[in-house]
Structure 1
Amino acid sequence: MLIDLNLASITANVKQYDVCIAGAGPSGITIARILAAQGKRVALLEGGGLEYSQQSQDLYEGKSIGLNYFDAVKSCRLRYLGGASNHWGGMCSFFEEADFKREMNGMPGWPISRDEVFKYFDAAKAVLDLPKDAFAHKKELGFTNFTQFMFSLSPPTRFNSKYQKELKESKQIDLYINASLTNVLLDNSLDHVNHLEITNGNLAKFKFSATQYVLAMGAIENARMLLAANSQIKTGIGNAGGMVGRCFMEHFNIGYGRFAIDNPTPWKGGITIRSTTAFSSKANVGSGHLLFSPNETIIDYGRTAALKHKLRQLVCKSETATELTRKMMEFDCDGDGLITSIIEQSPNPNSRITLDTERDRFGIPRIILNWQYTQYDLNTIRTLGIEAAKEIAKLGYARVHLHEDILDKSMEVKNIGAHCHQMGTTRMSSTPKYGVVDENSRVHGMKNLFVAGSSVYATGGPCNPTFTLTMLAHRLGDHLLTVTA
């Protein structure tokens, strides 16, 4: 059932639910559907509405004081039903076992195994509308320290349009819109959530009570709310080890340089390679994907491909060819393509979310993002780029020109970008010393508060996060069924 909290009366306070979920993005919606299918009563709380509004989006305003990040942290997120899935690109990939185990910067890996997550592999594929043969496409191109990797593409799934009708018609799920979480209140024992304070767009406040509670608002908002809910515990909820907001991770998007193709045969669709576990371990670096993307204006396919490529080489290398000739031939003589990446960022406690003194219109402190990398990350960036260039050249596929700041370790790496893959801040760990939630995504020190989404990632791997967070949502949904039985 759909309930617009802007139109609701104070009687909304009297309802009691099995589970109350704050956040109606991919994780929140997935968990709600799993619980509802087994007869559980669920309150699914969306801070925004059914469509985008600037007033709602402005609540995501914040400051960035570290590495340059997108539009002061706001543009990567969308504050309405479906969350970031409303502008998701649909790329899916998955963790290797080593991505779960890898220790970096003195921070342990995940307290769970890959198998515990991947039992939900097929379920996540169905939710994200992936084909049955997803991830089966692979070309073997002779690399030694890399494997040829093919991402699988979701249509992409828009959780708003796909599930809105189902949520509206559900007898088990009450979908509340314009329902912003503004406080988490504990009972006197301080180890148990008593209720959530929810505020509508008119600043009226409501109490929502349940047996179990889930925060599923994204990596930034999950940490923000745990830190801001400090009226009973000064340092915030789940922050006994001081880890709430720490280890904010992204995937590095590095402009490595350009390449000139020598052999057009393997290049249709470009080449994406992923570092092998053996190489990352031997070189003591993280993992990553490197994407060699040819300019489509110069790579043709079919009978004349080789001839056109040879002609291009002659024109571009000629000292007498005019600029007009090159433009008429549609040749980009600066190179045949660009090299970009999805590089793992290691968990770094100094890369973090903190609270600002400035507050939003609900009175919640806005966030300050201090995104930082480590020397380990720089080693990963350089090592993977240089090794990939060597192998591409050795195989005769292309000649690679890497930027000077990649080759020269005395220089600062320029143009470190990101992918809007926000992870960490409430990382999963065995103890509060290294994280915020336990192996079941339950907040350390709390009996009935859980966190869902990529904020629980102990490591980020080199993978777009949506596929893995959907598997984790299924896992948490199953666990909540056992604790609400």
Structure 2
Amino acid sequence: MDATTQSPHIADVLVIGAGPSGGMVSHVLSQGGLDVVCLEQGDWVTSSDFPTNRPEWELLVQKRWAHHPNERDVAADYPTEVSESDLSPVMYNAVGGSSLFFGAQWPRLLPSDLKVRSVDGVAADWPLSYDELTRHYDAADQLVGVAGLGGNPAYPDGLDYPLPPHPLGPLGLTAAAGLNRLGWHWWPGTVAIPTARFRELAQCERWGTCEWGCPRGSKASADVAFWVHNLRSGARLVTGARVREILVDSAGRARGAAWVDRDGVEHEQAARAVVVCCNGIGTARLLLNSTSALFPDGLANSSGLVGKNLMLHPCAAVLGVYDEEMKSHRGPLGEAVVSLEFYETRPEHDFVRGIKFSAHPIPGVLSQLEFHRNGPFEQLWGPAIHDVVAGHSRSFCFSGQIDDLPEETNTVTLDPELVDSDGIPAPRIRYRMSDNSRKQLAFLVDRMDEAHRAAGAVRTVRLPLATDQPGHLLGTARMGADPASSVVNPDGRAHDVPNLYIADGSVFVTGGAVNPTATIVALAHRVAQHLLTTARDQEAVA
């Protein structure tokens, strides 16, 4: 190894990862006057860089902008070994992280999600109550500029949003009518995309390409929602900085991180406290790579649970084709309406926990063709495929996900052979869906198909499992009160390392069936507020 460049600067807090959780942590701490340094292995991506600015965008997203890092193979990415995984985890390394790729759906967990053990006798309860999280959800919504309609009967009273919801449009109205005929719950979608200009975010122009980058800067990805403000508050962001390991002193306290730049030069950044925000795969990888005489099995891993209980939220979808115009090219993509009708466990079901599904547009013709990929050959060329293309504007999609319960056999470990471009061991993902998950998925697909039929669809096409969706990487450093059965405490502080915190989806105890970003950011707000009162009291780094 070449000589290491050591920064003489000791930060109050070192944040690793500039995605939604790292953005929120840095925002709260820099606004509070702390000296914050954030290391991000990716780069800035501007709205003009996104493929969605170009007519051929659906071709570009097959490679350079693909969801899976093994397909992109760009400098900021690290490879993943997924031969033993039923799903290919979605990740993107950049300022803003994978929020550059998210559809901006912004639902909160439901109260039962935090007490699954008490309610259904499975998994484990969170060490937090819904009431404890509420003010952090509210604070996050106000910072991000969430658009939604208050009063959803699925949630406790008092939930509202800073901006009004997006118009339902033809597809939303059609989906709602079908759900009404079935007598099922539905509500206008909640998204982190403003219906009016909000701080640095432009008003949504309804391009519909949210999952591949908003070309007008309307989506609240963390680069726009947080980082432009964090820099003004004095936070220092270092891009192209791949963290090799978290360093500890002789007392077992975190003293900073070793990182390597794009030229292969090794650096060290010292700090009084370290917050890891690298997602449910990257965080486990970093902790397992941070070995020492004091922590031979990886940092903060006395429980043996770092990298275990990986949850990936298996997703399915059903395309519906209608006689009427649906304007399926109009956004936002996230969700026009959402149904939580089957969210909770029911005695008549042969599985525990439930599902969430929503109606949304299909922004491009090639995206629609993906539903037909596994069809008979005669339906994939000639007049048949032309008929499919012609039906694009008369189509929309119901997609949904399940409450993916944690299992210790679903893991992130270090691959013995695969490494990234800097020689750092890459993560090996082992993820197999349980029998309970497969039953949930089958039920989900049947209900989405039924909803389309009730709404008047003349034809449906099922996608029983979307193997490249979604990017919900949860559970590999779970929180809890007992150090023997958890990695961090309810404040996100590692049981084994008193000045090390984790503030991303790794700390989830269970995943719920809703999209997790709102909860990830709320938890990050909670961790940051705790740190704000304690960081300057951390012992100086030797």
Q: When the two structures are superposed, what TM-score results if normalisation uses the length of structure 2? A: 0.69
Local SS of the residue matching 2:478:
coil
Q: CA offset at residue 105 of structure 1?
A: 8.7
Amino acid at match of 1:187: D
Structure 1, residues 326-368: CA drift from partner, whole Å, max 9, x if none?
A: x8999869x9765432222111211211111222233320111
Aligned to 1:212: 273
**Structure-to-structure mapping, 1:56-75, within 5 angstroms:** 57=75, 59-70=77-88, 73=89
Q: Does 1:110 align with 2:176?
A: no
In 1, Cα distance between the equivalents of 2:265 and 2:387? 65
Q: Aligned in 2, Cα 1:169/1:264: closer, same or farther, shift over 3 Å?
A: closer
Amino acid at match of 1:273: S
Aligned to 1:152: 191
Q: Does 1:345 align with 2:401?
A: no
In 2, Cα distance between the equivalents of 1:198 and 1:338? 43
In 1, Cα distance between the equivalents of 2:42 and 2:396? 41
In 2, Cα distance between the equivalents of 1:48 and 1:402? 37
Q: Does 1:87 align with 2:148?
A: no
The correspondence for 1:39, drawn from 33, 36, 40, is 33
Amino acid at match of 2:82: S
Structure 1, residues 398-419: CA drift from partner, whole Å, max 9, x if none?
A: 689796xx9xxxxxx7665631
Gaps of 5+ in 1: 1-8, 298-322, 407-412
Local SS of the residue matching 2:531:
helix
Q: CA offset at residue 158 of structure 1?
A: 3.3
Gaps of 5+ in 2: 50-63, 65-71, 148-161, 169-175, 194-217, 365-381, 537-542
Aligned to 1:315: none
Aligned to 1:245: 307
In 2, Cα distance between the equivalents of 1:26 and 1:396? 36
In 1, Cα distance between the equivalents of 2:363 and 2:387? 15
Q: CA offset at residue 248 of structure 1?
A: 1.6
Structure 1, residues 160-195: CA drift from partner, whole Å, max 9, x if none?
A: 345554444444x222223221111222233x2133
In 2, Cα distance between the equivalents of 1:344 and 1:150? 19
In 2, Cα distance between the equivalents of 1:20 and 1:67? 32
Q: Does 1:141 align with 2:200?
A: no
Q: Does 1:274 align with 2:303?
A: no
Aligned to 2:297: 235
CA contact (8 A) 1:286 1:377 kept: no
Local SS of the residue matching 2:408:
coil
In 1, Cα distance between the equivalents of 2:279 and 2:245? 16
Q: CA offset at residue 277 of structure 1?
A: 5.0
RMSD over aligned Cα atoms: 3.9
Aligned to 1:285: 352
Aligned to 1:318: none
CA contact (8 A) 2:343 2:353 kept: no
Local SS of the residue matching 1:102:
helix
CA contact (8 A) 1:181 1:199 kept: yes
The correspondence for 2:525, drawn from 467, 474, 483, is 474
Higher CA-based Rg: 1
Structure 1, residues 261-298: CA drift from partner, whole Å, max 9, x if none?
A: 79999x9997642234555476352222234568999x
Local SS of the residue matching 1:221:
helix
In 1, Cα distance between the equivalents of 2:255 and 2:362? 57
Q: Does 1:375 align with 2:435?
A: yes
CA contact (8 A) 1:229 1:237 kept: yes
In 1, Cα distance between the equivalents of 2:486 and 2:347? 24
Local SS of the residue matching 1:141:
helix
In 2, Cα distance between the equivalents of 1:294 and 1:33? 33
The correspondence for 2:505, drawn from 423, 439, 454, is 454
CA contact (8 A) 1:247 1:349 kept: yes
CA contact (8 A) 1:441 1:476 kept: yes
